[in-house]
Amino acid sequence: MVFSSQIFLFYFLPTFLVGYFVLFKLGARHSYLNFFITVFSYIFYGWLEPWLVFLMLGSTLVVYYSGKLISAEGASRFQRNFGLGLAMVVNMGALAFFKYYMFGMGAFNTVIEKFGGEPFHVMTVLLPVGISFYTFQSMSYAIDIWRGTAPPVKNLATFACYVALFPQLVAGPIVRYNTVAEELDSRTHTLENFVRGIMFFCFGFGEKIFLANNVGIIADRVFAADAPGVLNSWWGALAYMFQIYFDFSAYSNMAIGLGLMLGFHFPRNFNGPYRAKSITEFWKYWHISLTSWFRDYLYIALGGNRVSKGRLYLNLFLVMFASGVWHGANWTFVCWGLYHAFFMIIERAHNKEALYSRAPKLVQVILTQVIVLFGWVLFRADNIGEAFRMWKSLLGLNAVSGADPILAAEIFTPSCVFFMGVAGLLSFWRFRSYDWCSEISTKRVILALVVFVVAVLALFTQSYNPFLYFQF
Catalytic residue IDs: 327
d(CA 242, CA 247): 8
| Omega before 173 within 30 of 0, i.e. cis | yes
Amino acid at 154: K
3-state secondary structure the chain: CCCCCHHHHHHHHHHHHHHHHHHHHCCCCHHHHHHHHHHHHHHHHCCCCCCHHHHHHHHHHHHHHHHHHHHCCCCCHHHHHHHHHHHHHHHHHHHHHHHHHHHHHHHHHHHHHHCCCCCCCCCCCCCCCCHHHHHHHHHHHHHHHHHCCCCCCCCHHHHHHHHHCHHHCCCCCCCCHHHHHHHHHCCCCCHHHHHHHHHHHHHHHHHHHHHHHHHHHHHHHHHHCCCCCHHHHHHHHHHHHHHHHHHHHHHHHHHHHHHHHCCCCCCCCCCCHHHCCCHHHHHHHCCHHHHHHHHHHHHCCCCCCCCCHHHHHHHHHHHHHHHHHHHCCCHHHHHHHHHHHHHHHHHHHCCCCCCCCCCCHHHHHHHHHHHHHHHHHHHHCCCHHHHHHHHHHHCCCCCCCCCHHHHHHHHCCHHHHHHHHHHHHHHHCCCCHHHHHHCCCHHHHHHHHHHHHHHHHHHCCCCCCCCHHHHC
Q: Alpha carbon of 38 to those of 8, 60, 170, 297, 314: distances in Å?
A: 16, 12, 14, 27, 41
d(CA 353, CA 357): 6
